[in-house]
Every structure is written in structure tokens, then in C-alpha cells.
Amino acid sequence: MSTQNDAQLVKQLGQFRQDFLDEIGKVIIGQQNILDHFLIALICKGHTLLVGVPGLAKTLLIKSMAELLDLKFSRIQFTPDLMPSDITGTEVIEEDHATGKRGFRFFRGPVFGNIILADEINRTPPKTQSALLQAMQEHNVTAGGETYTLDEPFFVLATQNPIEQEGTYPLPEAQLDRFMFNIKIDYPSRDEEVAIVQTTTSGSEAALKSIISKDQLLTFQELVRRVPVAENVVEYAVDLVRKTRSKAKDSPDFIQNWIDWGAGPRASQYLILGAKGRAILDGRPTPDISDVNALALPVLRHRLITNFNAEAEGVSVDDIILKLLG
């Protein structure tokens, strides 16, 4: 790290991660890998797409996370009739009783929070999806010619149900690219499920305590940008992403056979940012190639478009990424 103060912050961040996992473990059984990815995305100012069947405690997980981090939590249930103003806010005509004059007043929508759960984002039309995705990109909302800045930190976690596709509006590739991670949440193991049933059917309810302030979290977000990365690690990440492009000269034969479109430069950026976050959460001053490899699946899986050959052969995007990693 560049200074002694930064080295101290890395130590504090490692302690924060342990405290976070200990505290959230009171209500969430297992899922440590997913929790680690959430923390990486949070300190890297990234957003996350969570894909999993209903009933896997996605909402409880995010709500508990906001409680631990002392952040404002908003849940938006995406439905076919949801309007952009239902997310961003709306202008209402108000009368000043003193002067009798009328004017517009902006009432902020649920996007003005710190941790936003966008539940089943693919159930609402593209116009409404884009209102949230624009806020994710710009960190502000425009209404009536005025621009309103969103509070920091600002972290969006969007969910999709992989089973029910009827009546949904799949996110376009350009919109998917705005998410740092695409995380698959799977069924718990047998032991985890036994523990979940025992915990949720008892009379006791765990109380969570805040473990970090908003200012501390913002400090950790700034720290990530200052983490040094060796040139060979950056080159490895860039080369890995370039190999996903079927038209690239150095792409493997199986990529040319199974992939229509590969990942863009944003994937390389997120691989390096994520590697930085993963390293310092683990108490290390700089990332290595293993950090890049560990994040390849969540960073790349929503950025690769497979072709008919892959579908016919039953090859998934995850299979292709794992083969690429060797």
C-alpha cells in the first residue's frame, strides 16, 4: 500500500469483513461465497444481478446487510405496470398558502436509498428498467429539468427468477453490462437446510447490530482505488477478456465455435477492481492472478452470448468460462 494509514485501513477492513460474516450469520445460514461477492461489489461501487429461484432468502439477505451497514434500504417490486416515476420520484403541484402561488415540488422515489433491492427486474418494461439503470450509471435522477444527486454509497442488487420467463422483459446486453457481478444463488446443502428450518421455526428472532458507519464505508471505497496492481495481473485480466471474443486472433477454437459475442473492456475493469477488493478484504495489500480467476464467473457470465452450437451441444456459459480458465 502507498502509506502506513492505508495499511491500517486494510487491517480494519479485514476485521469489518469478519464482524459482518459473524453478525449476518445470525440470520443467514451459509452463502458465504455470495456474501463475499456482495462485499466486494459494495466496496468497489459495483452493482449486482442475483439469479435464483424464489424462497432462497434473497430479500432477507439484502435487508440484513443494510441493517448491519447502517444504510437506508429500499425494495422495489418490479411489475408490468410499474412506471419510471414509481422508481425515481414524481413532481406534484403545491400551493404556497402565504402567497397563493403554485409550484412544483419533487417527491423522491425509492431509488433515493443506499441499498436498493430491485426485485424481479425483468418483469417490468424496458422504459421502467432504464430509469433504474440510468440512476445506477449516473448516480443521479433528472426530473422537471432538475438533477437530484443520489446518496452515497449507492448499491443496487437486482434479482431475476431463472425459471419463469413468460411475460418477462429480458435486460438488453448493454444494460446487463452495467452490473459488476452476475451471481447465481443455489439451493442450500442438506445440513444448511436443516439449520435454516430449525432457526426459522423457533420463537427466537436474532437482533442485528450496526457494525460500520456510512463514512467508514465510503473510506473503504476510496481505499480500493489506491490499491496497486502488478502489470502482469492487469495484462492477464485483459488477455482473459480478449480471449472471449470469437473474432479475436488469439481466441481458442472452442470460443469461435460456441460464442457469438464476447465481453467488452468493462469486464477487464471489473476483474481488476474486483481483484483489488477481494485482496484487501482478505488482508492482502495487492491482488494476484488467483483473485482475477476467482471472479471470472460472476464478472463474465452475463457478458458472453452463446450461439446455436453451444445450445445444441448443451454447453453453458459457465462451462465455457471454466474451460477458458483451464
State the pLDDT confidence band at 1, using cuts at 50, 70 and 90: low
Q: Which residue has the higher pLDDT, 237 or 208?
A: 237
Total domain count for the chain?
1
Cβ pair 109, 85 in contact under 8 A: yes
Q: Judge residue 189's burial from the number of C-beta atoms within 10 Å of its C-beta, 0-12 exposed, 13-18 middle, 19 or more buried.
A: exposed
Q: Rounded to the nearest 10 degrees, what angle do helices 58-68 and 4-24 cross at?
A: 130
Average pLDDT of 8-32? 88
Average pLDDT of 182-197? 86
Q: Give the integer Cα–Cα distance in Å for 54 and 116.
A: 18
Instruction: Let me know if residue 160 belongs to a domain.
Output: no
Does residue 197 carry a pLDDT above 90?
no
Instruction: Let me know if residue 123 belongs to a domain.
Output: no
Residue-wise pLDDT tens digits, 268-318: 999 999 999 999 999 999 999 999 999 999 999 999 999 999 999 999 999
Residue-wise pLDDT tens digits, 90-134: 888 887 777 777 777 888 999 999 999 999 999 999 889 988 988
Residue-wise pLDDT tens digits, 312-324: 999 999 999 999 9
At 206 the pLDDT is 73
Q: Which of 150, 126, 165, 157 has the alpha carbon at shortest distance from 38? A: 157
293 Cα distance to chain centroid:
18
Residue-wise pLDDT tens digits, 180-189: 999 998 888 8
At 2 the pLDDT is 54
Residue-wise pLDDT tens digits, 235-274: 999 999 999 998 888 889 999 999 999 999 999 999 999 9
Residue-wise pLDDT tens digits, 131-182: 898 899 899 998 777 888 999 999 999 988 777 666 688 888 888 899 999 9
Q: Give the integer Cα–Cα distance in Å for 194 and 12.
A: 34
C-alpha cell at 231: 502489470
Q: Give the integer Cα–Cα distance in Å for 73 and 92.
A: 24
Instruction: Let me know if residue 238 belongs to a domain.
Output: yes
Q: Which of 305, 45, 82, 62 has the alpha carbon at shortest distance from 176? A: 305
For 268, the domain range is 228-326
Q: How far is CA 164 from CA 4, 37, 101, 120, 210, in A?
A: 52, 25, 51, 10, 36
Paired sense of beta strands 155-160 and 48-51, if any: parallel
State the pLDDT confidence band at 196, using cuts at 50, 70 and 90: confident
Q: Give the integer Cα–Cα distance in Å for 243 and 252.
A: 7
Average pLDDT of 218-238? 95
At 103 the pLDDT is 78
Q: How many CB atoms lie within 10 A of CB 305?
A: 15
9 Cα distance to chain centroid:
23
Instruction: Let me know if residue 313 belongs to a domain.
Output: yes
Instruction: Let me know if residue 292 belongs to a domain.
Output: yes
Sequence-distant (6+) residues with CB within 8 A of 202 are none
Q: Which of 294, 273, 285, 286 has the alpha carbon at shortest distance from 225? A: 273
Q: Which residue has the higher pLDDT, 193 or 219?
A: 219
For the chain, give the mean pLDDT.
89
Instruction: Let me know if residue 180 belongs to a domain.
Output: no
Instruction: Let me know if residue 165 belongs to a domain.
Output: no
Whichever domain contains 324, its CATH number is: 1.10.8.80
Residue-wise pLDDT tens digits, 50-88: 988 777 777 788 888 888 888 899 999 999 999 999 999
**Total-model pTM:** 0.89
Instruction: Let me know if residue 39 belongs to a domain.
Output: no
Average pLDDT of 20-46? 89
